[in-house]
Structure 1
Amino acid sequence: MNHSPVDGAVREPVEERLRAALAARANAVGPADLRPLRPPSGALRAHRLSLRGTVVGLLALAAVAALVLLTLRDSGTRPSEPARPPRPTFSTPSPVPGSASPTPVASPSSPESDPP
């Protein structure tokens, strides 16, 4: 096998031939072969913007459709909540044992507190 060391690496004959062919091709291209640079045209940019708007619109429409379908499907499977509780709830006060104290009796009015 014919190996030629380059920078400490050993190259195979196939790699050597590919490198030589690519170098010859690169050297064959000159400035006259290249087309002049031109700024992008406005038509291409407008096309990209309209395409982007179309894609965003379609994605929004798909999201709304999915939301509607999920809402309609879920509403049929669950019973609706009652408007008010089915039974009234009453709380009865329970007497506290040992707190039986007499109710205060209104004292007779004194002469100083009576209006004249």
Structure 2
Amino acid sequence: MNHSPVDGSVREPVEERLRAALAARANAVGPAELRPLRPPTDALRARRLSLRGTVVGLLALAAVAALVLFTLHGGTSRPAPPAHPPRPSVGTPSPVPSSASPTPVASPSAPEPDAR
């Protein structure tokens, strides 16, 4: 069974029961159950300001630490360039050996023959 409230929306029975229970609880609370209104004390205000100052100080310290860390490590690192295939430093060897005979190289430790 849906009820049509004044605003034209349709409410479910569960919602109606919840609204009725909340209204009954609100009507059960009277001025005797409420505590007197007092302005906040200076100690509470000082503690809030102290906590706020501590949080701001810690955030500033973290920002400085992050700035130093990024400065020392060169900021954001760039990706490495793509790899290139290895290239020989000298021309590629031919599969056919050359017909010229190699010249002998004198070794520095061998004594030279006497030509007499």
TM-score normalised to the size of structure 1? 0.54
2:52 paired residue number: 52
1:82 paired residue number: none
Flag the structure with higher helix content.
1
Other structure's SS at 1:11 match: coil
- Structure 1: 5+ residue stretches without partners: 76-116
Number of equivalenced pairs: 75
1:58-69 matched pairs, under 5 angstroms: 58-69=58-69
1:34 paired residue number: 34
Q: Calculate percent identity across the aligned residue pairs.
A: 80
1:101-116 matched pairs, under 5 angstroms: none
Letter in 2 for 1:44: L
- Are residues 36 and 68 of structure 1, via their aligned partners in 2, closer, same or farther at CA, if it must alter by over 3 Å? same
2:15 paired residue number: 15
Flag the structure with higher strand content.
1
Q: For 1:16 and 1:70, locate their aligned partners in 2 and report how far apart those are by CA, in whole Å.
A: 59
Q: For 1:73 and 1:6, locate their aligned partners in 2 and report how far apart those are by CA, in whole Å.
A: 66
Letter in 2 for 1:6: P
- Deviation by residue 1:8-67 (Cα, 9 ceiling, x = unmatched): 444322222112111111111111111000000111111111111111211222222222
- Are residues 66 and 4 of structure 1, via their aligned partners in 2, closer, same or farther at CA, if it must alter by over 3 Å? closer
- Are residues 31 and 63 of structure 1, via their aligned partners in 2, closer, same or farther at CA, if it must alter by over 3 Å? same
- Structure 2: 5+ residue stretches without partners: 76-116
Q: For 2:72 and 2:5, locate their aligned partners in 1 and report how far apart those are by CA, in whole Å.
A: 71
